[in-house]
Amino acid sequence: MNLPNLNSNVNNISGGERRRVSLGVALLHDPQILILDEPTVAIDPVLRQRIWDYLEDLVKSRGTTVFLTTHYVQETRHCAKIGYLRDGHMLVQDSPKALLEKYGPNSKLNATTLDDVMFYFCKTHKQIITQHCIPKMCKMKNDLDRKVQLLKVGVVEADISNTKPIQPISPSKISNLSEHSKNYYSQVKALTVRNWIVFTRYPL
C-alpha cells in the first residue's frame, strides 16, 4: 500500500495516504467479503494499478469476494461483473468482456472502450426520462395542485391516482390532517431548539 511512516498521526497525513491506510485496515483480518467505496480515489495511477493487482490476487488466490464502487469506468475492466448506476437506476449489468463484445466495433454502437458504453447508456437513460417520466411528473404535479386547491376551499377531495368520482371530505380526515400539522410543527420546533443549543455550545 506504500503506507506513510508508522509513527505518523492519521490526522496529519494527506487524503490519499488516509485512503491507503483505510484500505490496509480493511484487509488486516483477511475478510471473505470486502466492500470498498471508491478505494482508488485521490491515489496516483501507479499505486492504483498496484491496488487493483492486489485485489485481483485476493480474488484468485483466496477466493475473496470484492464489491466496490468507482467513478473510473476503465477500472471496471478488472471486474467479473459490472453494473452502471444512474439516478438510482441500474442501466446495465454484465461482464466487461460481454459488454464490449455486444456494443464494440462490430455493433451499431461501435464502442471501443467501457467509457463509450457507459456514455451510451447514460444518454439513453436521459432520453427515456425526458420522453416518458417528465411528462408523467408534470401531469402528477398538475393533479396535485388541483387537489390542493380543492382542499383549501374545503369542499371536495380529488383522487389523483385514478378517475374515481370526486367525494366529499369526511370530518375524520380533516381531524387527521390537523393532527398531522401539529406533529409536523412540533418536530420543527424541537429541531430548531436542538440546533440552537448546538450552535451556542460550538459557535465556530
Final residue of a structural domain among 122, 146, 181: 122
Across the range 35-50, mean pLDDT stands at 85
Report pLDDT for 180: 61
Across the range 155-172, mean pLDDT stands at 51
Final residue of a structural domain among 89, 107, 122: 122
Q: Is residue 132 part of a domain?
A: no
pLDDT-derived band at 203 (thresholds 50, 70, 90) equals: confident
Q: Is residue 39 part of a domain?
A: yes
Report pLDDT for 32: 93
Q: Is residue 141 part of a domain?
A: no
Range of the domain at 79: 10-122
Cα distance between residue 94 and residue 10, in whole Å:
38
**pTM of the prediction?**
0.54
Can you spell out the DSSP letters for the chain? -----TT--GGGS-HHHHHHHHHHHHHTT--SEEEEESTTTT--HHHHHHHHHHHHHIIIII--EEEEE-S-GGGGGGSSSEEEEETTEEEEEE-HHHHHHHHSTTSSS---SHHHHHHHHHHHHHHHIIIIIHHHHHHHHHHHHHHHHHHHHTSEE--SSS-PPPEEPPHHHHHHHHHHHHHHHHHHHHHHHHHHHHHHH---
Task: Point out the least confidently predicted range of 14-18, 78-82, 170-174, 198-202.
Answer: 170-174
Q: Above 70 in pLDDT, residue 177?
A: no
Based on the domain organization, do 14 and 98 belong to the same domain?
yes
**How many domains is the chain partitioned into structurally?**
2
Q: Are 16 and 40 in contact (CB under 8 A)?
A: no
